[in-house]
Amino acid sequence: MRADIPIGRILRSHNLETRRDMVELEILEGELTFDGIPVLSRTYKIVHNNHVLMWINERFPIDARWKL
Which tens digits make up the pLDDT trace of 4-54? 888 889 889 999 999 999 999 999 998 777 888 899 999 999 999 999 999
pLDDT at 32: 79
- Residue 68, pLDDT score: 63
The pLDDT score that the predictor gives to residue 36 is 84
- What are the residue ranges spanned by the domains of the chain? 7-66
How far is the C-alpha of 25 from the C-alpha of 14, rounded, in Å?
Answer: 28
Q: Are 45 and 55 in contact (CB under 8 A)?
A: yes
pLDDT given for residue 1 in this prediction? 58
Q: What is the DSSP string of 1-21?
A: --TTS-HHHHHHHTT---EEE
Confidence of residue 56 (pLDDT cuts 50, 70, 90): very high
User: Is 21:45 a contact under the CB 8 Å cutoff?
Assistant: yes
